[in-house]
Structure 1
Amino acid sequence: MAFYSPDQAMGQTLRQLIGHLEAEGRPGLGEQLSITWLRYGASLVGAAEGLGQEAFWGQAVTGAGWEGERPRYPASVVKLVYLVAAEAWLQRQLIEEGPELRRALADMVRDSGNDATSLVVDLLTGTTSGPSLPPGRAAAWCRQRQVVNDWLARLGWSEVVGVNACQKTWAEGPYGRERDFYGSQLENRNRLSTDFTARLLHAVMAGAAVSPPACRRMMALLRRSLDPQERAADPENQVDGFLGAGLPDGARLWSKAGWMSQARHDAAYVEVEGKAPMLLVVFSEGRARAADATLLPAIAAALLDA
């Protein structure tokens, strides 16, 4: 069961929206889509500060989902997991604070850099990429690469079931031991659900992930500008073609997008004056969906006004 309380009216709105979007010329959309949509009565920012974990997680959250429990390949949205893990490792002094780590985290999240992500995963797991390894060494290497999954399991969240966050992200693809680790049928690819991603982003925005200061650092990296000139100057911005493109001027947006040839995803928390704050995670799969730059903005605009 998800951490939020399903709202019947929100669920009906979501189903009608998916049906409408499918009828517009997106056959099979319902199978290609996962959505988790949460709505708040007041700002979520810092809402957990001053509360214990039990008190915070005991607060009611209203939401709706479509295939929200279904694990899908997350593309670069997995970088949100590695960001939170890095702050957790720093708190436990498992890795060292320093300017190079901070530079890598910033490039990983703000620019979705894959090279930066490679360094972060190396630091989190104590592993490095390279040629294929002999069986004994490969087994030890593979076990070490599961430490982020082990940490997620210790959170005790039901949404962690089916999650896999152990792979780096790539521009051209994995080679050597990294390709071996994927499995012959790519069965060990990263997997996240929109329910899990929503809970993780919910915790970050509220100040309930690791510590309030850590959450403020993470929020600073997740903040997106909706200014047209800034977006035009950055062809790799994570607004155009994603949820942020469906928001009105003046909206406040924190998000992490993911995009590759077979997926277009986004996870966002949004505040707009006069509207209920919302957290929205959308995963869409398939070549047609990856090329569809209008789908995610349409979903964000419709649900914000619902």
Structure 2
Amino acid sequence: MKNKKTVNRIANTFSKLPPNVKFYLTIAAIACGMAGMFFLGYGLLSLFDRGRSEYTSDRSPNPPVLVPSPPVTATAPTQNQPSVPLPNQSSVPLENQPSTPATTKPTVPSKQQPDTYQVIGQTNFKKPSAKLESVVNRIVKYSKDKNLPLQALSISLIDTQTGERADYQGNVHRYPASVVKMFWLVAAYQKIDKGEIDGNVLRPAIEQMIYKSDNQGASQVIDAITQTKSNSDKLSATELSIAKQQRQQLNAFFSQAGYSQDINVSQKTFPIPQEKIMEPQGFDRQLRGDNLQRPIRNKLTTNDAARLMSEIVNARSISLEASKKMRGLLGRNVDPGFWKKQPPNPIDFNPVESFFGEGLPVGKTENIVSKAGWTSASRQEVAFIKSKDGKTRYVLAIFGDDDAYSKNKKIFPEISKLVYSQMRQLSK
């Protein structure tokens, strides 16, 4: 009743107004009504658009790719310019990319027939050369004079011009650290060559693994090769048996091709800080056995490492094209003006500084082809070194499995300088 009286009072007041005032009030009322309808419609449309956007993003036609890494240039890498962006280039670093949580339950793969490493022709090195043995003996003496433990030292030397070789404890299995990534590189490229893995998808992880010696890239490569997945949960006995077999296919891959029968390249390298995995856990921990004091670890001989490097640089690994690509990825620029200013992995180690490349005479050699490893208790490297005139060509592999080698940053450059000088004398 009160509202009705109010309405009547307003109507009487409006009727008494002059005609011109009535006109302007009517126009204003119509304008206010239209403005209200406009804003109401806009609000409803905005709600509809937000709902539609959320719906389509959950059903994206582009599923996530295998490797959560930033896109890289598709051109073939060279020894001077790897396709992985250098630290001073504008790029999104790998550690900032999304990664699969470590707690994700792995999908246990089915049983498969182990593959075998394909070598073009036969790898038959000549009998140990007395000349090369003299060079190896010089390395041993030099190490002894530096009070380095010889029982922890292995050396392999191959003259790639003549096929001659020599070694010191070259068949002793030792922990290879990141040198093992060269073996994963070969296993990955064979699957790419056979069309079993999409090389474009896996390429960023491969480049991070080799050029930066990145453990996350290596983890992704192993997962793709073996169809296993790291996680923080222990597997059941059945799951462990199948997944273990998948990982150990990496060992059979090389041993069936004539590499050492006790080779072990099935363990991932740690830590993987991007995934917050600082040490083996779950499945990776189970692979190391029950003895925490003496866990099962990767193991290689320097003869294994030297042979694989010689097959890559001589274009006998898998195929001519695969060998060429792998050699490019393993290339290291030994110009001090380059490696001192642009270390590929300044957090961990530079693959030239404190290694063979640093000891080579400036301007006398081509860029080397190498894979280095380094831990708090060991230092390792395998490299192909070639003089610019092409007369001196050799593969040198050294594993120093003791913290004395790890702490001594000058020993590998000094040994490299010694070997290069000796090999130049032999090639005259």
TM-score of the superposition, structure 1-length normalised? 0.88
1:254 matched residue in structure 2: 369
Are 1:39 and 2:159 an aligned pair?
yes
Displacement after TM superposition at 1:4 (Å): 4.0
SS in 1 for 2:241: helix
Structure 2 residues not aligned, in runs of 5+: 1-122, 272-277, 423-428
SS in 1 for 2:371: strand
Amino acid of the structure 1 residue aligned with 2:227: G
Structure 1 residues not aligned, in runs of 5+: 42-59
Are 1:183 and 2:289 an aligned pair?
yes
Amino acid of the structure 1 residue aligned with 2:378: A
Residues of 2 paired with 1:142 and 1:32: CA distance?
Answer: 30
In our comparison, the structure showing a higher alpha carbon Rg is 2
Residues of 1 paired with 2:222 and 2:267: CA distance?
Answer: 8
Corresponding residue to 2:268 among 153, 162, 168: 168
Q: Say whether the 8 Å CA contact 1:3–1:199 is kept in structure 2.
A: no
Amino acid of the structure 2 residue aligned with 1:36: S
Corresponding residue to 1:79 among 174, 181, 184: 181
Are 1:112 and 2:213 an aligned pair?
yes
2:394 matched residue in structure 1: 278
Corresponding residue to 1:126 among 182, 205, 227: 227
Q: State the Cα deviation string for residues 151-209 of structure 1 (Å, max 9, x = none).
A: 21331x1x322211101111232111111111133442111101011111111001100
Amino acid of the structure 1 residue aligned with 2:174: R
Q: State the Cα deviation string for residues 258-306 of structure 1 (Å, max 9, x = none).
A: 1111111011001113552111011111112111111111111111111
Corresponding residue to 2:138 among 7, 10, 16: 16
Amino acid of the structure 1 residue aligned with 2:286: D
| More moved, 1-10 vs 222-231 | 1-10
SS in 2 for 1:160: coil
Q: State the Cα deviation string for residues 88-124 of structure 1 (Å, max 9, x = none).
A: 11122222222x3111111100110000000000000
2:44 matched residue in structure 1: none
Q: Say whether the 8 Å CA contact 2:172–2:301 is kept in structure 1.
A: yes
Larger proportion of strand: 1
Are 1:216 and 2:316 an aligned pair?
no
1:294 matched residue in structure 2: 410
Residues of 2 paired with 1:217 and 1:290: CA distance?
Answer: 30
Residues of 2 paired with 1:188 and 1:7: CA distance?
Answer: 35
What is the RMSD of the two structures over their aligned residues, measured on CA atoms?
1.7
| More moved, 117-126 vs 144-153 | 144-153
Moved >6 Å (runs of 4+): none
TM-score of the superposition, structure 2-length normalised? 0.63
**Structure 1 residues 298, 4: CA separation in 2 closer, same or farther (over 3 Å shift)?**
farther
1:267 matched residue in structure 2: 382
**Structure 1 residues 107, 179: CA separation in 2 closer, same or farther (over 3 Å shift)?**
same
Q: Which protein has greater RCO, CA pairs closer than 8 Å, 6+ apart? A: 1
Are 1:66 and 2:168 an aligned pair?
yes
SS in 2 for 1:145: helix
Residues of 2 paired with 1:4 and 1:263: CA distance?
Answer: 30
Amino acid of the structure 1 residue aligned with 2:243: W
Q: Percent identity?
A: 29
Corresponding residue to 1:194 among 279, 292, 302: 302
| More moved, 73-82 vs 100-109 | 100-109
Residues of 1 paired with 2:266 and 2:147: CA distance?
Answer: 36
Q: Say whether the 8 Å CA contact 1:146–1:166 is kept in structure 2.
A: yes
Residues of 2 paired with 1:147 and 1:267: CA distance?
Answer: 23
